[in-house]
């Protein structure tokens, strides 16, 4: 991004985080289980015998995923406030699951930030929340009702349930944020793009506060069937789902579908300091590129340019990066190309570069992945801990040459972290996080 030399760019810090994943319904639970090397992937209860028969699901269909069990937005809101209002109940009734995830994570993130939004200028607060698929479950329900029962049985709330910007819209309404209010749908890079563009908005003076992240609720029969027919999903793991997601392993066969949300509160530095906010980390670099190569097969050069852009934007070199949270979805081509890109960028230092494929535990949250992993990066900086990569039993020689953390979490002095996200359509995003220092 070309900026005028005279422009004084503002510093941007992370002051609050919120998360909903298959590992837990709040950040402390997810983080502790991640550091312990636990998997959130399980056999999906929704694929019961009746569903298998109705849709003629073949035996090799992967009926596994990172599904969130026992999610109840009403209970989450009650835990954060004294009572649930009529407006709360309307939001719950007339929103899709992906929006409800965003509301839950946003409530946690704002609470975690310590912000008192009643004293903030609402026109200086904004929301950018991404989703790769939007309200796909509501869309599927609507189609089934249309075909089975006719036009009059389709809900008049179908459109506001399914369109991807309604997560951002509902969060904006809940917190009365009147600044930038947009949604992104850049496939599996969307969550990282949302953080990056929110960072830019604050950096360039368009806002002082932003809630940014990604949300996804696409563990549905149609979406999973589509990825299955593409050959993109991990196969042969129905009897041992926790071992299905295998980044960098020679036996990796594809990604595991997951759902969830990650939301970060980004804040202009002086604004945060003025209220004595706790700071997780600073965002200093953002890059985004297009492969212009293929709609589904990733291109090493596009990823490489994206990472280099983010590092240049952050004013760092390969010698500065301590830890990389890679995209690493456990697809054969994707993991290999990302490894090659990192080795070419970091050269001799690549073998000392700490790397952990956290999708081995969370599965792949599509448009929410980059946001959830952005939170992991901030927590790694705060705690000086790098999560492990599980299920890495036999390293693919094509993915060798990096210091991939396995077995258990590793303590380390972490000052700079790189996070990568790449998506269908050849869209790429990279972020650089830094330990906050005066």
Q: Are 390 and 241 in contact (CB under 8 A)?
A: no
Domain segments of the chain as ranges? 12-274, 286-434
Q: Are 149 and 120 in contact (CB under 8 A)?
A: no
Position 2 scores a pLDDT of: 45
* CA 246 from centre of chain: 18
Side-chain half-sphere of 55: how many Cα atoms within 13 Å?
A: 17
CA–CA distance, 140 with 142 (Å, rounded to integer)? 5
Position 4 scores a pLDDT of: 45
Position 5 scores a pLDDT of: 45
% of the chain beyond a pLDDT of 70? 98
- pLDDT bin (cut points 50, 70, 90) of residue 8 is confident
Q: What is the residue-wise DSSP string for 279-311?
A: --EEEEEEEEEE--S-SSS--HHHHHHHHHHHH
pLDDT (tens digit per residue) in 122-153:
999 999 999 999 999 999 999 999 999 999 99
Burial classification of residue 395, based on how many CB atoms lie within 10 Å of its CB (0-12 exposed, 13-18 middle, 19 or more buried): middle
pLDDT (tens digit per residue) in 34-86:
999 999 999 998 888 888 899 999 999 999 999 998 899 999 999 887 678 99
CA–CA distance, 47 with 92 (Å, rounded to integer)? 25
Side-chain half-sphere of 357: how many Cα atoms within 13 Å?
A: 31
Q: 249 in helix, strand or coil?
A: strand
Domain 286-434 fold: Peroxisomal Thiolase; Chain A, domain 1 (3.40.47)
Cα torsion for 376, 381, 386, 387, to the nearest 10°?
-20
Position 438 scores a pLDDT of: 82
Strands of 114-233 (E only): list them.
125-130, 181-182, 209-216
Please name the residues in contact with 361: beta carbons below 8 A apart, sequence gap of 6 or more: 23, 33, 34, 37, 38, 39, 40, 41, 245, 387, 390
Q: What are the tokens at 93?
A: 């009734």
Position 319 scores a pLDDT of: 96
pLDDT (tens digit per residue) in 210-255:
999 999 999 999 999 999 999 999 999 999 999 999 999 999 999 9
pTM score > 0.75 for this model? yes
Position 128 scores a pLDDT of: 98
CA dist list (Å): 11 to 113, 314, 329: 17, 11, 31
Residues annotated catalytic, as ranges: 188, 327, 364
Q: Is the pLDDT of residue 257 over 60?
A: yes
- pLDDT bin (cut points 50, 70, 90) of residue 414 is very high
CA–CA distance, 25 with 22 (Å, rounded to integer)? 8
- pLDDT bin (cut points 50, 70, 90) of residue 299 is confident
pLDDT (tens digit per residue) in 275-289:
999 999 999 999 999
CA–CA distance, 232 with 255 (Å, rounded to integer)? 6
Q: Are 259 and 219 in contact (CB under 8 A)?
A: yes
pLDDT (tens digit per residue) in 149-194:
999 999 999 999 999 999 999 999 999 999 999 999 999 999 999 9
Strands of 154-293 (E only): list them.
181-182, 209-216, 260-268, 281-290
Burial classification of residue 177, based on how many CB atoms lie within 10 Å of its CB (0-12 exposed, 13-18 middle, 19 or more buried): buried
Position 7 scores a pLDDT of: 67
Output phi, psi for 202, to 5 deg: -75, -45
What average pLDDT does this structure show over 317-328?
Answer: 97
Strand duo 281-290 + 12-20: pairing:
antiparallel
Long-range contacts of 77-82 (CB under 8 A, 24+ apart): 77/103, 77/104, 77/107, 80/107, 80/108, 80/111
Average pLDDT score, the chain: 95
pLDDT (tens digit per residue) in 387-399:
999 999 999 999 9
Question: CATH topology of 12-274 equal to that of 286-434?
Answer: yes
CA–CA distance, 419 with 405 (Å, rounded to integer)? 15
CA–CA distance, 370 with 190 (Å, rounded to integer)? 7
Position 82 scores a pLDDT of: 66
Q: Are 34 and 23 in contact (CB under 8 A)?
A: yes
CATH classification code of 12-274:
3.40.47.10
Q: Is the pLDDT of residue 318 over 50?
A: yes
Please name the residues in contact with 375: beta carbons below 8 A apart, sequence gap of 6 or more: 17, 19, 27, 262, 264
């Amino acid at each position: 991004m070309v900026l005028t030399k005279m422009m004084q760019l503002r510093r941007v810090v992370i002051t609050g985080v919120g998360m909903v994943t298959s590992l837990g319904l709040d950040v402390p639970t997810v983080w502790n289980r991640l550091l312990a090397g636990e998997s959130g992937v399980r056999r999906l209860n929704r694929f019961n015998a009746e569903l298998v028969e109705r849709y003629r699901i073949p035996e090799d269909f992967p009926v596994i995923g990172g599904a969130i069990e026992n999610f109840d937005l009403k209970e989450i809101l009650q835990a954060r406030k004294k009572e649930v209002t009529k407006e709360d109940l309307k939001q719950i009734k007339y929103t899709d699951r992906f929006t409800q995830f965003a509301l839950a994570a946003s409530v946690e993130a704002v609470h975690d930030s310590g912000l008192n939004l009643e004293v903030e200028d609402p026109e200086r607060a904004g929301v950018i929340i991404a989703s790769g698929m939007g309200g796909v479950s509501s869309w599927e329900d609507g189609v089934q009702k249309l075909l089975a029962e006719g036009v009059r049985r389709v809900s008049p709330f179908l459109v506001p349930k399914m369109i991807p910007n309604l997560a951002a819209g509902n969060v904006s309404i809940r917190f009365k944020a009147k600044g930038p209010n947009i949604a992104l749908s850049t496939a599996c890079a969307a969550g990282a793009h949302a953080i990056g563009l929110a960072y830019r908005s604050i950096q360039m003076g368009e806002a002082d506060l932003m809630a940014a992240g990604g949300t996804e609720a696409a563990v549905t029969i149609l979406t999973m069937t589509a990825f299955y027919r593409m050959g993109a999903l991990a196969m042969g793991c129905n009897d041992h789902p926790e071992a299905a997601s295998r980044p960098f392993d020679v036996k990796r066969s594809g990604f595991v579908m997951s759902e969830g949300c990650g939301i970060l509160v980004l804040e202009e530095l002086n604004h945060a300091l003025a209220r004595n906010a706790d700071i997780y980390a600073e965002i200093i670099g953002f890059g985004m590129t297009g492969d212009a190569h293929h709609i589904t097969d990733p291109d090493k050069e596009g990823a490489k340019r994206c990472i280099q852009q983010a590092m240049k934007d952050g004013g760092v070199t390969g010698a500065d990066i301590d830890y990389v949270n890679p995209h690493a979805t456990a697809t054969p081509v994707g993991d290999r190309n990302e490894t090659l890109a990192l080795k070419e960028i970091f050269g001799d230092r690549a073998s000392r570069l700490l790397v952990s494929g956290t999708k081995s535990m969370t599965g792949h949250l599509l448009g929410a992945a980059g946001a959830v992993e952005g939170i992991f990066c901030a927590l790694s900086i705060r705690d000086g801990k790098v999560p492990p990569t599980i299920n890495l039993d036999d390293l693919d020689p094509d993915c060798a040459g990096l210091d991939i953390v396995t077995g258990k979490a590793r303590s380390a002095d972490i000052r700079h972290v790189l996070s990568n996200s790449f998506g269908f359509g050849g869209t790429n995003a990279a972020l650089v996080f830094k330990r906050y220092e005066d």
